[in-house]
Structure 1
């Protein structure tokens, strides 16, 4: 069975900090620790505990995390060192994956060179209206980007100077720690994997070789998108290191509160105010929809809170084959600030209704019976 993504196991995004990863692991470890899970479900809890532990061990190590971000599980699986990994034995594995694990079992066949790192992902929060979410839209956003520094032409060194090879790693970007029979490769702490030291950094870019700018990005919001969904824009994250690929940009959708409608999945809800006379006499009324107006027929004697369902008048979700429904909730409005004539008419109406008994009030009899039961 295929392994789950380490980030999904811990419930963190790829851009999570080391502290976020540690907190997520501690939470899962406390939840699934074998000492806390005995009896039924203990086996499942133990497997989840081991799974979380493995994910943390990989993502808490910068070198292993970098390998995993680039190559997935293959980049951190020592069992991939055979011919099936694309090379002759361990030497082929080290060549294919940038000598991730170093020269194990002697010098091996791993290539020497600067460490390549993928850039970090970026997150952008976009607020849109309910109509835009329902029907989609095309828009533009401004995001940070990086351009080659014009002063140093991308070298990072001050004009008239140049970078020098890092002495501790001899310009390879990696150092080896030997312990007996084994040799473990790690990123050089002096040059941080770049393989070079810049004695006099460029004042314009502080030695980065790049300058941060702003660029305009075209974004298409798909129809039916929901609150919290993310749109991935590949390659528009932070740039990688030493020629590594850039990260991605994730646009997270936030939907503004609507004056009329509330969204529940693909369904919409709205409150429709009607007068006392309209509710009593019935008749056709107009109700709003996202696409315009619709008509519903109120039966005579419609009660407050009555709900009418209009099929297909909701939102068609991005993964749905048909639209949701619109639910109209009737709110009977009681008139206020009556004048003398209006009060007289209401009293006359009330007296006339009283003469008809409980048949004019559908809830009166049942309510009276419940009251009587209290005193039995």
Structure 2
């Protein structure tokens, strides 16, 4: 869709709603028409397919509040005749181009001496509107920042907690190593396009309007490459697999994204590269759990160890440590070991929380059974009742 077609298009009429329609009314109208006109429901009806496309384009503009507001303002200017006035330069003898006040969008929105040069950011607004709507613009000759790149990796729990430097292979577009992104063969340089004088756009007059369109000779780049680089066919962009050393900070969590600036796709015409975002997945650990910066571990113990007291050996990230259990320790009690958890740079590490849990034996021999029977009698003789304070008795 050209700029002229876009500016003359009435998206409200496409959806059958007034310009004052609410967001919910626009959404409802689109859903109704989309069901009626969908190609799956009209496989042999080309007219329905074209209508479905028009309805989808209208919804894409009007469903976004910012885009809709900019579209409404542009349409208001169009109906008010501001475009015609913008085509006339101030000064004696000024005459509209094309005989009826022709204009260039760049003159109207922000150009020197334009009708709206005093409104900061208006040109950017109009360009952004076309960009978000998915329609063709004439800004392809401008430098463009490279796209961001997404990558994923999985780590064992303990590596994620302690941190590491991980070599990560990333495949995708990158600046051609032969021409360094220029697109020109060895010993040559791109030259300015004579058709558009390096602007990347050409202006044509139609009726009372002038429209800027991408230059066909240079395809909007503003330059011509007479001897293209054979490695990238003149695009300046290659495709290769590269290894990047990613520093995983200590304590990274499952699903966390790590940003590496300027490690994404290369920018066009000298613009900066995009960023690389690495999403880290963390595998569970058979021993440790995690609660924020604290590590948790459950240690099985025997009843006699809790009743009589003992010292147990507990695993840590870097080895083992001894924990003393006093006599009469109840099952489920948690002991906190300071700064034995998730490490951090510049601030204290988390703690290690050790919970003791009674392990009940199975398959006892007769000697062990007799010993437990004797203990049971001795326990009752002391008057001990394990359910004495149990609220379930009430």
- Range into which the TM-score falls when normalised by the shorter chain: 0.5 to 0.7
Q: CA deviation at 1:266?
A: 0.5
- The residue number in structure 1 matching 2:331 is 304
Who is 1:324 aligned against?
Answer: 350
Q: Given that residues 175 and 266 in structure 2 are in contact (C-alpha distance below 8 angstroms), is that contact kept between their aligned partners in structure 1? A: no
Pairing of 1:166-245 with structure 2 (within 5 A): 172-175=199-202, 193-195=220-222, 205=232, 208-245=235-272
Which position in structure 2 is the counterpart of 1:336? 362
Corresponding residue for residue 349 of structure 1: 375
Distance 1:177 1:297 in 2: 87
Aligned counterparts, 1:4-19, within 5 A: none
What is the rounded CA distance, in whole Å, between the counterparts of 1:307 and 1:165 in structure 2? 74
How far apart, in 2, do the equivalents of 1:57 and 1:365 lie? 72
CA distance in 1, matches of 2:373, 2:284: 42
Change (3 A) 1:370 1:114: closer
Q: 1:360 to 1:211 in 2, by over 3 A?
A: same
User: Is the CA contact 1:166–1:197 (under 8 Å) kept in the aligned structure 2?
Assistant: yes
Distance 1:299 1:56 in 2: 71
Matches within 5 A, 1:95-174: 114-144=141-171, 146-148=174-176, 172-174=199-201
Question: How does the TM-score come out when normalised to structure 1?
Answer: 0.59
1:166 positional shift: 7.7
Within 1, Cα distance between the matches of 2:308 and 2:180?
81
From 282, 288, 291, give the equivalent of 2:309.
282
Which deviates more from structure 2 when the two are superposed, residues 235-244 or residues 195-204?
A: 195-204
Aligned to 2:280: 253
Contact 2:182 2:269 in 1 (8 A): no
Partner of 2:244, secondary structure, is strand
Whether the 8 Å contact between 2:163 and 2:251 is mirrored in structure 1 is yes
TM-fit CA distance, 1:197: 7.8
Q: State how far apart, in whole Å, the 1-side matches of 2:286 and 2:220 are.
A: 55
Deviations 1:329-364 (A, max 9, x none): 11100011111111111111112212222x262xx1
2:388 corresponds in structure 1 to 365
Gaps of 5+ in 2: 1-21, 26-63, 71-108, 129-138
Q: Which has the larger radius of gyration?
A: 2
Structure 1 residue 199: Cα displacement: 11
The residue correspondences of 1:29-108 to structure 2 (distance < 5 A) are 53-54=65-66, 90=117
User: 1:303, 1:332 within 8 Å by CA — same for their partners in 2?
Assistant: no
TM-score w.r.t. length of structure 2: 0.57
Whole-angstrom CA distance in 1 between matches of 2:205 and 2:371: 100
Partner residue of 2:136? Answer: none
Number of aligned residue pairs: 282
1:65 maps to which residue?
none
Q: Residue 116 of structure 1: SS of its match in structure 2?
A: coil
Residue in 2 aligned with 1:63?
none
Shift of 1:252: 2.3
Instruction: Tell me, in whole angstroms, the C-alpha distance in 2 between the residues paired with 1:343 and 1:118.
Output: 77
SS in 2 for 1:366: coil
